[in-house]
Chains A and B, each alone.
Chain A
Amino acid sequence: MGNIVVSPHDKEGQHHMMATPTSNNPNGGSAATAKNKSEITVLLLGAGESGKSTLFKQVQFFHGVGITHDQERIELIEIVRLNVLENAKNLVAATQHLNIPIEQPENRETAKLIINSLNTNDLEDPSWSKRLYSLWKDAGIQKAYENREKFQLYDSTEYLFENLDRICSDKYVPTVVDVIRTRTKTIGITDMKFDVGDGKQLRLVDVGGQRNERRKWIHFFNTVDAVVFLTSLSEFDLNLYEDNGYWRVKESLRVFNEVVNNALFYKVPFVLLFNKRDLFEKKIATKSFSKYFSGFNEAEEKNPVACIEYMTKLFLNEITEHPLDTVSVKTLSAIDHDNSKQVFEEVKQFIMTQQHRE
């Protein structure tokens, strides 16, 4: 596996964006696919925070590009620390919002500083590791954390707080796991290419998932050879980032419906990935799953397999146009390196066989 390029798209893309934002890309796409059939374009789609970029980063990592190199990860120090700060800010804000007092006076001091003046450069100072950790362990903050479905918080929170002693040091270089755990909202569209054997190249396209970002997906719709749709299993108790009154599962189903039934994808292999299986299993152990799905048998709510089966049915019911034999459903835990590698390999095989059949 040599030749891997991570790049924005060729210059042709830019005028379509400016001139006809909602029409299909007229020459960039079909002409290009006709010219080199050897390139397989795979789109990673899904609503916000479904794990598209996490999977994308994992694929980069096991192909030895991007974040594999120290130099590349050093560039991400600021982003990791920004994640720490945002998590801390959101938690502190939540204690106020939910009326849960922070218990220790010194932690209240820390909270004040976080809200008012703390910035990423301050986190070079190791003393912040202790202060932030003590805040994280505060009973008030922990109580807010237990109620995290009521506000917006990154999945990385616990991981980052547990690793503060490394992060708050002037010698800190993010590890691959740090980078994969860090939440960065993708804006726009980015892609990478790598060889998959048989003289073929796979071009993996990662996109932003929020509502405004979805309008940009259409630029790639007619060049696409396969779609991987991600949805988060653990979002059943969460509301949207873009609209805090809207249930994430409803949004995911809506987006899935629109994508899978799109006429441009009738003949395209389609993979549905239920992501964040790890988080999901932890979550249903403490939270009620059936509370959110009236059609689900309450007795089964602690059984992840039954829950996932139910979710699968829910999603597959949305398919009205797409031939079902070209749809594959899998579960994934994108933060787990080995699992990602295995699932992605399966997805790749599925896509390649579908291509062959064609």
Chain B
Amino acid sequence: MKFFKESETPDDSSSVFSSSDSMSHNSVKQKLPNLRVLKFYQFMVSHKFIIATYIGVFIIQTAIWAIVGGIDEILYSLNTDLQNRKRFFVSPGFFEFKIGCSLTSGILIVILIESVFYIAAEVITLIMCIRSDRDTWSIKKETLIYVIVQSIGISLFVISSFIDIMSILVDYFVPYALFMFGALALETIICVLLPVCYAIRKDFHSTHHNPQDSTLESILKNKKGFKTILDFARRSYCPEAVLCWSDIQRFKDCKKREKKLEIAKYIIEHYLTPSSYLELNMPQLANVKEELSLMVMGSASTVSNDVFDMIENHCLQDLADLQHRLVSSDKFIASMVQELKELQRLKASCEEKVEETFNVELEI
């Protein structure tokens, strides 16, 4: 069912659309003359469309099976010629569970008609897929690989059916239809399982190697690093900066307006209130609290994402001393810091090389 996945390819345009959502509608219309096309893409990648199509195809298939099989069964039972009566579509019968079904020419016609329809859909979406100019999620690559796998699977299946020894003897032990199912299983692996693995790997790497992050931020964003640092901070009686940092991340990640406001209030109440249990070590805390409270409570619309940036920086600065203490006592953190430094050095030397090449090109 490649049909649905292909529609995801124009993801760039759909994100353009959603980001312009906040602009006034008219200006969007002027700026984007192909708004309709974008809307169409938006619809194509929506869950609504994908789920509706799956359910639709499922219902049509089931209906064909029930109607055609039902008619077949009725005609069969109405036939008075008990000797020569035959089922046209499903050969052993609808309610026969003791033996498997086999292909009859009747059912073959149905399958062929259906295939024409699905193959046409596949070809159309394949063309759309090849024509798409970006391949952000490698869907184009996967589709092309799968088309090859699918063709091999089908050819092997068809060829086997013509070789007697395959279709009669081997099929008795190992059904050659497995070529088809093998191709289908490979589709799931190539197009579903592997992309999930890539995503996990990418997430894992990105938490390690976000170039904008300082060493300390990278440690904090790593699950084990965060746990180690929080544990160490607790034992050193200073968990407030770590906890505040993590709550600010929670605040920034939160999409729901009310929840966001709630987290913001929590942060102000717990970390920025003088004499509160988790009070931060910060100059002029009372003023800071007042200022931020105004910004959070005063804003009629959503709370801006960078409200706590200043606090976040302060937390990171406060943690510098703790990080140093931790590096000299915890092997895991020490090795992580070492690794990150190595990476930074590599990055710097790469950048230098790029710059050099660029300069050489300019000179030429």
Contact = CB atoms under 8 A, between A and B. Distances in A.
A13 B235 contact: yes
Interface in B318-346: 318-322, 324-325, 327-329, 337
Interface in B271-307: 274, 277, 279-286
Contacts of A185: 281, 318, 321
Closest 7 CB pairs of A and B: A188-B238, A188-B236, A212-B279, A8-B235, A187-B238, A216-B237, A8-B236
B234 A187 contact: no
Interface string B229-256: 0011111111111000000000000000
Contacts of A21: 277
Given A14-B231, A79-B324, A82-B320, A188 B237 contact: yes
Contacts of B282: 242
Contact of A9 (B235, B280, B281, B283): B235
A189 interface: yes
Interface centre among A8, A152, A185, A190 (most CB of B within 10 A): A8
A187 B235 contact: no
B312 to A, nearest CB: 16
Contacts of A13: 234-235, 237
Interface stretch (A70-78, A290-298, A316-324, A340-348): A70-78
B234 A184 contact: no
B318 A187 contact: yes
Interface of B: 231-241, 274, 277, 279-286, 317-322, 324-325, 327-329, 337
Interface in A1-19: 6-11, 13-14, 17-18
Given A8-B329, A188-B237, 12 more contacts: A8-B236, A10-B235, A14-B231, A66-B328, A75-B327, A76-B324, A190-B236, A216-B237, A241-B283, A242-B281, A242-B282, A244-B283
Interface of A: 6-11, 13-14, 17-18, 21, 66, 72, 75-76, 78-79, 82, 152, 184-190, 208, 210-213, 216, 219, 241-244
Q: Which among A187, A208, A213 has the highest number of chain B CB atoms within 10 Å?
A: A187
Contacts of B318: 185, 187
B329 A6 contact: yes
Task: Report which residue of B286, B325, B337 has the largest number of chain A beta carbons within 10 angstroms of its beta carbon.
Answer: B325
A14 B235 contact: yes
A213 B281 contact: yes
B281 A208 contact: yes
Contacts of B324: 75-76, 79, 184
Contacts of B321: 79, 184-187
Q: Chain B binding site: helix, strand, loop or mixed by DSSP?
A: helix
A94 to B, nearest CB: 15
Contacts of A14: 231, 234-235
Nearest to B320: A79
Contacts of B283: 152, 241-244
Contact of A17 (B232, B239, B279, B325): B239
A212 B234 contact: no
Contacts of A9: 235-236
Given A185-B281, A212-B279, A219 B320 contact: no
A66 B321 CA distance: 13
Contacts of A18: 234, 239
B237 to A, nearest CB: 4
A8 B233 CA distance: 9
Contacts of B328: 6, 66, 72, 75
Contacts of A216: 237-238
Contact of B285 (A17, A186, A189, A242): A242
A11 B235 contact: yes
Contacts of A75: 324, 327-328, 337
A187 B322 contact: yes
Most chain A beta carbons < 10 A, residue from B324, B327, B337: B324
A75 B325 CA distance: 10
Contact of A7 (B281, B317, B329): B329
Nearest to A9: B235
